[in-house]
Structure 1
Amino acid sequence: MNSVISQQDNLIEQRVTEKIYNEGIKGLQQDIESIKIGGRNYIPNSGKFADTRYWYGNGGSGLSVVEKDGVKCLTAVGAYRHEDIKLDNDTEYVYSAVILIDADVNFNNSTPLHYWIGEKNQAGGSGTVSGVELVGEKGVLKAGTWHKVVLKFKIVPTGDI
């Protein structure tokens, strides 16, 4: 009799273990399937530059495509901007660039990458971004060195951005 009870106990334990394992695998598969890797580059002509299309003066001068360390990139003095890009509400974005600068610059949420995020037909309307985070390198960026500068921000849930 003890052997039958013991066998039933072992069978129940095995089935419970299998069920927990299978539910764990199913949950893990769902978690893996929901991962989003990478993202869309929303800024046309923003890498491996062939020309200066979509880039406009914003107080800068001398915009051109040059080759630096074997990479085609834009060079300019002063500020340039890209044409407007429609962003989605309640969405987090990462804005980044790899830059080579001629003078030391203190990296903050508007230098050397500057942004205007505003409601439709407005330049930099207030209340459209719920915080900007500097990611990666921080502090003074040294001249003559390539730097990856990254800003992460989230658009507010409502509004015509």
Structure 2
Amino acid sequence: MRVTTRATTRSTRARWGARCVGLGLTTALAVAFAAGPASAVAGAPSASGEQPVEVPGNPTFDSLPASISPFTCDRIVKVDPVTAGSFGDDDEITISNIGTDNTFDFTISDDFAAIGVIVKGGPVANLYDYRPTGIQADQELHAPVNPANMTYYGLSHVDFCLVEDGSNT
């Protein structure tokens, strides 16, 4: 009986070492992504492409962090609780299409535009900053992502910072 042995060289050991390191890194990344982030994240942009910024706590346009330049609103409209319908002194804001995924759409009538929208949910909020031009409609706004289940937090309330159309330029 003849036994054949294969000599292990440094290059073979190096290849196996590189494979083990690669496998370890791949496993670590898979575990990190499966576990999700340690805190909430803002989530996807709105339909108009506006990327929200996560803001801790229960912010208002008067209490935003110093890192966010101040908003000058002609009118602030708070919708609490968030339900479909028309809101504001002149029913100038309409909220619609509240989804089971906790997203919603809005339109603004009259001579107003939103330069900012704060969407509160859970222990955090999302700020949609439409400056300098403002916007009269957008879709798929939401609160930040809940890291416990990777879905958007439920909608608590929404604040709209409105300017008279043309006064924001």
Output the TM-score relative to the length of structure 1.
Answer: 0.35
Which structure carries more helix by proportion?
A: 1
Identify the structure with bigger relative contact order (alpha carbons < 8 Å, sequence gap 6+): 2
Output the TM-score relative to the length of structure 2.
Answer: 0.34
Structure with max Cα Rg: 1
